[in-house]
Every structure is written in C-alpha cells, then in structure tokens.
Amino acid sequence: MTDRYRIIKLISKDPAGGMYLAEDTTLEREVVFRHIDTDSDTERTEEWAEEFTKFSGKLCALQHPNLQTIYDISTDEGGVSIVTQYVKGESLAERLERGPLQQFGAYRMATDLLEALHAAHTSGVYHGALHTGSVRRLPKATGGHRYIIVDLGLNTLATMVKGEDVHIADPVLLAPELHVENPDPNVRADLFMLGQLCYTALAGGHPFADKSPEQCAAAHLAGELPPLLDFAPGVQADFVDWIKHLTAGDAAQRPGSIKQAMKSLQEISINEPEPNIPGKTQAIGTAVPQPPPTAQAVPTAEPVNQDAQQTTVHEPATSTANKKPIIVIACLSVLIVAALIGVVIMNSGGGDETVDKQSSGLPDGVKVHLHDVVTINTMENRQKPVTIDLESDKTLDWTVAIGAPASMKREQKDGVSYIQSLFAKGKFKEYAMAN
C-alpha cells in the first residue's frame, strides 16, 4: 500500500503517530497518510482482526460532507496505515488565534457538526474526544464556511493497534464522565464537547484553560462554567441557553439524542450577516502574525468588563497545575488576540454610512469610526506592530481579529484625536499609526 503514496511533508505528530501530506500516485491527488505503529507485544488474535475489520469498515463507509472521507485502512506487520481526504482549510484552533467567531459563524458550526455526528452515531461510531483541532473549515462560495470533523475514530483505532488506551483529547473540553481509563463515549458525551466547542468559539478561549484535568472534570461536574455572556455579551439568549443545555455537567441533563439537539437548534432564529459586496464595504483581515502552534490550543478566556470605557488588557493566566492523566492536545499554550478594531474612512458624500463633519487633523471629509474593543489575553510584546493606514481615497472596513464587516452598532468617533489618545495611554502597544 505504501508504494502507492509519495510522502510530501509532515503535517503534524500526536500520540497516534505522524500525519503526512502525500500524493496518491495512482489517482494523482493529495491525501493525508498516517501510519500507527503497533507495540511489539500487541497480540493480534482472530477476535482482534474481526473487531478491527468491523470498525474500520464502518469508518470507510461513512460518506458525509461534514466528515473527512477515509479512503483506505490497511494493516501490516508494523501497524496500520490510514489514507484520508486532505482538507485544506484551517482548523478551529488556528481560526481562534485571530479571535472569537461571530454568533452566526458559531451557529453554522454547530449545525454542521450536529449533521456530522448524526451520521457517525447512526453508524454506531462515537467521537469521544472533540477538541479545537478536530474541526477544520472550508470557505463556501456562497459565503461562510463548511465545518468538517477530521479525526473521527482515531482514538479507537490507535488504542486497538497499540494495545493500550490512547486518548488524544483536551481535558478542558472533555466530558467529565470521560475522565477515566478506557472511557466509553456516547451521544451525551459528544454533545457536551460540541457545546464546549461552541462556547470556546464564541468566547475566544476557555476559562478552564489553566486547570489540570482533574480540576476541569470537577469544575464541569459542579456546574462552575461561567456564563457565556461574561465573555460574549452580544450572543442572543436562546442560543446561550442551547449551549448551556449541551454543556450540563450531569449527563442526564443534556439532550438525549442528536435529533433532539438539532430540533432545538433549528428553533433558534439568528439573522445571517449581509455578505461583502464589491463596491461596498470590504473586509480586510490583518491579524498580527504569530508563529505556528506546536499543538492545538484552547486559550484562556477572560470576562468582558462591560463598564469600562477603554479596553482592559488581561494578563494571561499562569498555570502551576500538573496535567498528567491525559495526553493534552491543547491547554495553556497560545495567548490569542480577540481585538476588534474597525477603522472606516469615509469620503464626503460616499460610502454606506455618513457622519457630521467636524474639524480634525484629517483631510476635509475624512472621518474615522472606531469600535469599542475587547481584548482577551493580549500579548503586549509584539515584534511587529499592526499599522492602521488612514487612507481617504477609498472606503475600508478594517477588522484586526476576524476580517469581517464591523457591527452596525459600532460607536462612531470623529477625528483622529480619539485614536491617538488611546495609543498615548499605552493601551495598544502592539499597534502603531501610519504616517
């Protein structure tokens, strides 16, 4: 089997082994090739072979637009080779480095992942370890993104091949009942982790990111997850309640099926934002470059201070906890910026929004609109500042964190003096004004 595939590069490594971008020389397409090495003392009995064949057959038979397609699974003396679809999009972990998702994006993600989990559960396959690296997203021609689960069945396959429990999970998001040896995933556990993904995506991080696995499990069971509105005050109440239902520490309090969770989600009406239209407002993503993460990370979320008039910069939480029982995909590693700054330069009589003319340091007719800013775990020591270029010959809707149109509710501030005063007070050390 390996003769058919030409390895191009290593994508990543985890406890299950290396994952490689490869070329299928027969069909001339890019694929993901993974080999799980077996332990030398692992015994392959007839019962093992039957169980392995049955499970791998289920995985290969699954065909769904929100699940990574598995092309082939084969065994050899050294272990198991798995060939899957190459999903080129970014992972949810990579996306969250630029800040939280907007409400409608999280709603779309929840819908797509419910569809994927429904297909998997119908085939008798449960994930059991959803985390921000489990999900990748691809842009859609009609706008938005399609979300895809890319590691379904990996923990089970790796455990079968290695002869010991292999648990690639994030204890921050893991259902508390799965914090045991040889966990038995089920519908309610998968729904809990889906709810935690939605919470993390909207908050831009997780408040338990500095806790040990034992502390995470205890906090979830005790119902200590802070209200989502502490971090994302703009999320509508019915969507918050839906997420809260999924993330209940007591499994019996969660929805009992994917269909039940789907039905309640479909009853929630969330207006889709107006798409970007050429000639109108355009979105430019200009996030500060960061080094690629060595592991999928869930940053620590900090509450929004709604009474503050200026941005509060929260120092990242420092953990001294010992994370030992579970192989952790992500905790305590990446500090993210969720700063939303929109700068719109309006020509006199042009653009979609108008403001009263006042004297300022800018050319006549040019006005600046600035968001209130929410900063979560901002690193102040940036090597390369972001430059705000106040151009007057075109209209820009400039969003640092998410590359999306600014909210219609943004606060309008005329003149450059307001922006300059923010920089003078030292709140934005990572940004600099352009000449």
pLDDT digits (tens, 9 = 90+) for 155-207: 899 888 887 777 788 999 999 999 987 788 999 999 999 999 999 999 999 99
Q: Where are the domains of the chain?
A: 2-47+67-85, 90-272+296-310, 337-435
Q: Which residues contact 295 (CB under 8 A, 6 or more apart)?
A: 328, 329, 330, 333
What pLDDT is attached to residue 218?
A: 96
- The span from the CA of 162 to the CA of 151, in Å, is 17
- pLDDT tens for 250-260 read 999 999 999 99
pTM score: 0.65
CA–CA gap between residue 379 and residue 338 (Å, rounded):
11
- Cα distances from 306 to residues 126, 280, 418, in angstroms, run 40, 31, 20
- Residue in the block written with tokens 């080999």: 35
What pLDDT, on a 0 to 100 scale, did the predictor assign at position 160?
A: 87
**Residue ranges of the alpha helices (H) in 151-271?**
154-162, 187-203, 213-221, 237-246, 258-266
Residue 53 to residues 44, 76, 311: CA-CA distances in angstroms? 12, 13, 56
Question: What is the structure's pLDDT at 315?
Answer: 34
- Cα–Cα nearest to 127, from 93, 107, 154, 148: 154
Fold (topology level) of 2-47+67-85: Phosphorylase Kinase; domain 1 (3.30.200)
When comparing pLDDT for 3 and 258, which is higher?
Answer: 258
Token readout for 331 is 């905790």
Tens digits of residue pLDDT in 27-60: 999 999 999 988 766 677 888 889 999 999 999 9
Give the percent of the chain with pLDDT over 70.
61
Domain 90-272+296-310 carries which CATH code?
1.10.510.10
DSSP readout, 54-80? HHHHHHHH---TTBPPEEEEEEETTEE
Residue 79: pLDDT band (50, 70, 90) is confident
219 or 325: which leads in pLDDT: 219
**Residue 48 pLDDT:** 87
8 A C-beta contact, residue 223 and residue 201: no
Measured at the alpha carbon of residue 247, what is the angle toward residues 330 and 94, in degrees to the nearest 5? 30
Structure tokens at 93: 């972990």
